[in-house]
Structure 1
């Protein structure tokens, strides 16, 4: 079986994403600056070539006989150096042509004469000398007693010189952006490491909990992680309570079965065709069956869950009451409801049925003729799920105040019974504790009998 590749860590994901974004951003910045520099350099080249043309134009003279006299000194020494890459050419009427020393032997047949006042900046153009940028300007020179002399002044520069200047800038730009990129990546990694410190602390604290060196996660976390760590702590508590409840339930079950088994063994060992043996054995077996059912119900209590769904109370309450009315039809008990619309229980449906069913059954058992079920939702600021208030009242004899504490004592043996209130009350107490609620027994102010109130906190 081929193992699936291990997913990247959060730090690696963030580093890769940041690196890609940073590379794209710096690349875009570099491209923008390079294009801007190219345009600026091109404008500077235009201005420089134009200034050379103006300098040649200013230094040129025309005799009264129409002879063109170029300037003695060029505006730049490169015009005097053959093959320097900077050339000057003057074209005129009747095949007149003048070239700077640097342009001697070069092919400028691509040049055309321009109309007076016309100028042209072009490049790079393909020539036999390579690619050139040039600026040309046409003038009409007034000559006494002659028609104006038309001249075209042109200054050209090779592309290599122009691109060489750009290449220097681009190398400098790439170097600076690379250094900046490395610095930003290092800074981002440091910031990322600092930002992920709380997550690493959560992992470390979880490891301490697993090793038994700590009971819960630390409470000092950033606000964004508080909700997560609180739910993890709640899950830890729930898991421990469930384990403890299961262990206690199994111990109680084993203890509860000792007496019935001992009775059965004793009866079987001493039996000598005793007429009542069959009935005694059946009674003990029935008792063991009841104990097993009770202890399994306690063990199955799931308790408060972090991600429990809402269980509507109204529908289940009506079903339970209909069933109990049939069971206690001879007593003609009337069950009344005071229930908030939309009240819900956040937990397992089975826990709600056990909790409400045992309280209602207790009320029906000891009521004279009336039972009152009250269910109220209890929202709390800062909590996502509201709490739940559930009470069952009856008009029966009630419970004396000096007996309430004994009624609420948790039995340590599965076969303990509270006089007059049945085995269901022990299950109710276990469920309420599992959901971190509170069970209160007092007297009903409205009906006069007992009132069993359960308060489950918001979460």
Structure 2
């Protein structure tokens, strides 16, 4: 899960689910306990009403007239509300007209004790409240009784079930609404990061060299550091190239003087030849290092360069250079294809490869480029004799030429290889389908 929004949303969903479940369970338990207490209070009030209207006969009988029953449901048979009085032998001495039969308890209450329980009776669940009491008659006789008031638990259970359904429905809707709100908050909160990502992409596709706009305080230091890095990168490259250019310019005069000495007839011939050779070698080294330094290499957030315009421009220039040989340059590059490479490096790379192909080919040079497995494959083909066996590794070395009779310093392929490697790419030398040479530069897309 690489998305920040997905991570935050998942974490929020888990926490919200845990909170909703805990809240629901706690509310359900609290309401259930409160409902039990309310039912107990109701049955206790009914018990007091029954005791308040009860009479004890001289022989210990318990009497309560039906017309004074505190609840009308006590007068309707099997109404779901029942009352029962038992003597000390747990034998019924009075029952409400609503009760058919008796009610058995697992444990009978002591005198003065209230027992609130649930019991099974004839496949029905009853909520019962039992109270043990003593009654002393005017004659001084003491009788022990147990009053049981019971109500069918089905209606109570249905009410609780309706409450649970409503509770979890409300909590589920609330959770979904909170998740939606959280999604909107995340979208709003992560908007600066999306804007920063778009600006970073625009750096690779436009000519921008800075990230524009204001960002939140948490992100602004990152933006400032990126802009500083981009500025330093460009300034360092410019200073490096300028320094090498100045070095080359500074060496021109001393080398010109030495070249003049090498041609001086007064200098013994035995000295002139080694001097000319060393000057040529110095010139080769200087050219190679300057071309190598001209390669910018892979830079942070560099804008990709369109390949077709650069290749066509070089083709037109080299057509004029090789006009006498009649060399033809064909460019087969899709119009929208871009290279993740510095513009100067692209020109240097194509220029060296196309120039080599024109020198050693048979009159036709073909430049092509395609995307291959997400990377750029840049090919330059000629119709010459191709590469000999075992030459490919050697030709990538500085100063090595395939044909020593041709003009040149043997730097083209070496410089091209340096440029490609500076972008963590690789260069391949092989024969093409027509037997000519093919140089393929593979440059990673990122």
TM-score range, shorter chain: 0.5 to 0.7
Question: How many angstroms does 1:207 deviate by?
Answer: 1.8
1:396-411 counterparts in 2 under 5 A? none
Q: 1:99 aligns with which of 80, 95, 99?
A: 95
**1:138–1:247: structure 2 CA closer, same or farther, 3 Å change rule?**
same
Q: 2:75 aligns with which of 73, 77, 80?
A: 80
**1:200–1:79: structure 2 CA closer, same or farther, 3 Å change rule?**
same
Q: Report what 2:14 is aligned to.
A: 20
Q: Report what 1:90 is aligned to.
A: 85
Q: Report what 2:428 is aligned to.
A: none
Q: TM-score, normalised by structure 1?
A: 0.55
Question: How many angstroms does 1:71 deviate by?
Answer: 3.4
Indicate if the aligned counterparts of 1:79 and 1:101 stay in contact, CA closer than 8 A. yes
Question: How many angstroms does 1:179 deviate by?
Answer: 2.3
1:90 counterpart SS class:
strand
Question: How many angstroms does 1:182 deviate by?
Answer: 2.0
Q: 2:202 aligns with which of 199, 203, 208?
A: 208
Gaps of 5+ in 2: 301-446
Whole-Å separation in 1 of the counterparts to 2:106 and 2:95: 12
Cα deviation 1:155-177 (Å, max 9, x = unaligned): 11233232222222222221222
Question: How many angstroms does 1:8 deviate by?
Answer: 3.3
Question: Does 2:281 align with 1:281?
Answer: no
Q: Report what 2:125 is aligned to.
A: 131
Question: Does 2:112 align with 1:117?
Answer: yes
Q: Report what 1:45 is aligned to.
A: 39
Indicate if the aligned counterparts of 2:119 and 2:125 stay in contact, CA closer than 8 A. yes
How many equivalent residue pairs?
Answer: 295
**1:101–1:249: structure 2 CA closer, same or farther, 3 Å change rule?**
farther
Question: How many angstroms does 1:218 deviate by?
Answer: 1.6
Indicate if the aligned counterparts of 1:92 and 1:152 stay in contact, CA closer than 8 A. yes
Q: 1:34 aligns with which of 11, 19, 28?
A: 28
Question: How many angstroms does 1:131 deviate by?
Answer: 3.0
Cα deviation 1:176-204 (Å, max 9, x = unaligned): 22222222212211111111111011011
Q: Report what 2:177 is aligned to.
A: 183
Whole-Å separation in 1 of the counterparts to 2:276 and 2:108: 131
Whole-Å separation in 1 of the counterparts to 2:65 and 2:181: 61
1:135-146 counterparts in 2 under 5 A? 135-145=129-139
State the superposition RMSD in angstroms. 4.0
Cα deviation 1:347-373 (Å, max 9, x = unaligned): xxxxxxxxxxxxxxxxxxxxxxxxxxx
Indicate if the aligned counterparts of 1:78 and 1:102 stay in contact, CA closer than 8 A. yes
Question: How many angstroms does 1:285 deviate by?
Answer: 4.5
Indicate if the aligned counterparts of 1:92 and 1:113 stay in contact, CA closer than 8 A. no
Q: 2:151 aligns with which of 147, 152, 157?
A: 157
Q: Report what 1:435 is aligned to.
A: none
**1:113–1:31: structure 2 CA closer, same or farther, 3 Å change rule?**
closer
Whole-Å separation in 1 of the counterparts to 2:122 and 2:248: 108
Q: Report what 2:433 is aligned to.
A: none
Gaps of 5+ in 1: 1-6, 306-459
**1:81–1:267: structure 2 CA closer, same or farther, 3 Å change rule?**
farther
Cα deviation 1:134-159 (Å, max 9, x = unaligned): 11112222234362222211111233
Cα deviation 1:221-244 (Å, max 9, x = unaligned): 111112211221123224434554
Question: Does 2:141 align with 1:147?
Answer: yes
Whole-Å separation in 1 of the counterparts to 2:160 and 2:144: 36
**1:10–1:96: structure 2 CA closer, same or farther, 3 Å change rule?**
closer
Whole-Å separation in 2 of the counterparts to 1:149 and 1:114: 15
Cα deviation 1:14-45 (Å, max 9, x = unaligned): 11111111111121111111111111111111
Whole-Å separation in 2 of the counterparts to 1:83 and 1:96: 17
Question: Does 2:65 align with 1:71?
Answer: yes
Question: How many angstroms does 1:220 deviate by?
Answer: 0.9
Q: Report what 2:342 is aligned to.
A: none
Q: Report what 1:227 is aligned to.
A: 221
Whole-Å separation in 2 of the counterparts to 1:251 and 1:80: 115
Question: How many angstroms does 1:206 deviate by?
Answer: 1.0
1:224 counterpart SS class:
coil
Q: TM-score, normalised by structure 2?
A: 0.56
Question: Does 2:165 align with 1:171?
Answer: yes
Cα deviation 1:256-283 (Å, max 9, x = unaligned): 8989699879979x9xx93332242255
The more displaced of 232-241 and 148-157 is 232-241
Indicate if the aligned counterparts of 1:118 and 1:137 stay in contact, CA closer than 8 A. yes
Q: Report what 2:394 is aligned to.
A: none
**1:295–1:114: structure 2 CA closer, same or farther, 3 Å change rule?**
closer
Cα deviation 1:77-107 (Å, max 9, x = unaligned): 22233333322111125644322232214x4
